[in-house]
Amino acid sequence: MLGRVVLRFARDRKANVAIIFALTMIPIIFLLGMALDYTLALRKREQLNAAADAAAVAAVRPAMLTQTDTTVVKATAEAVFAAKANLPGLSVTPTPTVTVTDSGLARTITVSYVAQSINNFPGVLGKATWQVAGSATAKASSAPNMNFYLLLDDSPSMAIAATQTDIDNMIAATKSQPSYAANCAFACHEAHPNNAAPSSTNKDNLTIARAKNVTLRIDLVTNAVTQLMVGPWTCPQSGVSGGVMQCMSALNNTTYNAAIYTFDYALNTIQTLTTPTAAGTKISNIQLLTVDHQNCPILNSKGACVYTTDYGTDISGGLTGVNAVMPAPGTGTNQSGDTPQEVVFLVTDGVEDKLIPKTGGACDANATYALPSANSTTLRCQQPLDTTVCTTIKNRGIRIAVLYTEYLPLPTESWYNTRIAQFNSPSSSTGTIATRLQSCASPGLYASVQTGGDISAALTNLFIKVASSTASLVQ
């Protein structure tokens, strides 16, 4: 009898769930407490990581990059971190460790921290806090001090009307001109049009363009340079007046100087290296090449033509001349003994039209044939730029920025079809003229503008690309 009672008791399962639940409550409470405290700790770490990111970036802002006292840099990062790291649920606001590493113009900032997140269930975990740690690294290069040498094409090809409407108006306005200048979209500047003194009935195409208010490509280039050095330009740096150069100089805490040169068959000095504001006063001197009359760019002392063929664009000669002017570049820091970086800004339509020695000289190998001789000792070549001089300049550590004012295809013009078209194929954006200029430019410093495009915006954007300094989070 007693045996059956014991067996029945052993087989009875009533109330086992309650017992099992009671037994499992201990680990469940432990796990829930640990999960809650761990989740809160992770949230604190995310917030502290954001504070470290902000502190690192703050220490590599342009204004801070000019600060050579690392104590000031560290104090700035620490202050930004403290303002964002004062969080509830931490035992104390952590003090970060800030490391500053400078290498030339580059600065790397690392902000690291260790903090204690207060646990809500210290008894469960056996400790009052949960440790969290993290770090952020930001890197930036300060904008260097730079000297800019603007090298502007002022050859007759820059006298083309600026937009299709201007071209149409120019062609219509020149319908009564002598045959060599009639129905022409170019406003060439001649001192003696039609080989005679200018008069009310004997005008060069430039005079007609000005009378008809036709905008020329050289006008757009002049406007672009004005925006760079004179403005007005909307600048986020309060108290700064002038153009883009003055604005970027203030924003980057740098010193910029500028020089202006033009080129045709020779290099012309508009303004040697000076402040952008001083250089801006000479912009009105940027003018088209003046020739005496058709097929006569230069007169000798007796008033006779030196050469009996048009020419007037020696891009490589202009680059060679500027290269001789520029000193060896420095790194652009404010350290004692350092000097500014040197940058060339070349603005051109990319087609050379120049004289070379007949003996030992040759036009571009891809030219269909050499152009007529200028005299017994020279040849005239129309061709894309030979980039050899660009390589010479870049090998000195000098950057070249190129703005290509695309050479307008003229498919109805026989001279264009026989001498230029092969260099402008398949298009003005992708032909040999364009690719040579792109090869001349330093990496990332090439831009092009088609007829009717905004040259001012293109030149400004190219300048900003050269002058800009950015900060980035590495980690």
Q: What is the pLDDT of residues 93-135, one digit of tens each?
A: 899 999 998 877 788 999 999 999 888 766 555 678 878 899 9
For the entire predicted model, the pTM comes to 0.75
Asked whether residue 78 falls in the same domain as residue 154, the answer is no
Asked whether residue 461 falls in the same domain as residue 320, the answer is yes
| Residue 120 or 298, more confident | 298
Asked whether residue 107 falls in the same domain as residue 154, the answer is no
Asked whether residue 150 falls in the same domain as residue 38, the answer is no
Question: Worst-scoring range by mean pLDDT, 179-193, 350-364, 438-452?
Answer: 350-364
Share of the chain above pLDDT 90, in %: 44
Confidence of residue 28 (pLDDT cuts 50, 70, 90): low
Q: If we measure between CA atoms, which residue out of 215, 216, 243 comes closest to residue 148?
A: 243
| Residue 164 or 125, more confident | 164
Domain termination site, one of 89, 114, 141: 141
Tell me if 305 is assigned to some domain.
Answer: yes
Confidence of residue 300 (pLDDT cuts 50, 70, 90): confident
Asked whether residue 152 falls in the same domain as residue 119, the answer is no
Confidence of residue 217 (pLDDT cuts 50, 70, 90): very high
Task: Tell me the Cα Rg of the chain.
Answer: 36
Is the predicted pLDDT of residue 239 greater than 80, yes or no? no
Asked whether residue 73 falls in the same domain as residue 155, the answer is no
Asked whether residue 114 falls in the same domain as residue 155, the answer is no
Asked whether residue 260 falls in the same domain as residue 333, the answer is yes
d(CA 267, CA 313): 10
Residue 186 structure tokens: 């170019």
Asked whether residue 74 falls in the same domain as residue 153, the answer is no
Q: Find the CATH number of the domain harbouring 270.
A: 3.40.50.410
Question: Worst-scoring range by mean pLDDT, 23-32, 95-104, 405-414?
Answer: 23-32
Tell me if 25 is assigned to some domain.
Answer: yes
Tell me if 183 is assigned to some domain.
Answer: no
Q: What is the mean pLDDT of residues 333-360?
A: 89
Confidence of residue 232 (pLDDT cuts 50, 70, 90): confident
| pLDDT tens, position by position, 244-282 | 999 888 888 889 999 999 999 999 999 999 999 999 999
For the chain, how many structural domains are there in total? 2
Pairing of strands 351-357, 371-375: unpaired
Q: What is the pLDDT of residue 375?
A: 62
| CB atoms closer than 10 angstroms to residue 130 | 20
How distant, in Å, are the alpha carbons of 94, 139, 140, 198 from that of 108? Answer: 22, 4, 7, 66
Is the predicted pLDDT of residue 472 greater than 70, yes or no? no
Confidence of residue 229 (pLDDT cuts 50, 70, 90): very high
Asked whether residue 392 falls in the same domain as residue 340, the answer is yes
| Residue 26 or 59, more confident | 59
Tell me if 207 is assigned to some domain.
Answer: no
Asked whether residue 263 falls in the same domain as residue 387, the answer is yes
- State the residue range of the domain holding 413: 146-160+216-474
Confidence of residue 205 (pLDDT cuts 50, 70, 90): very high
Asked whether residue 113 falls in the same domain as residue 156, the answer is no
- Neighbouring-strand partners of residue 348: 404
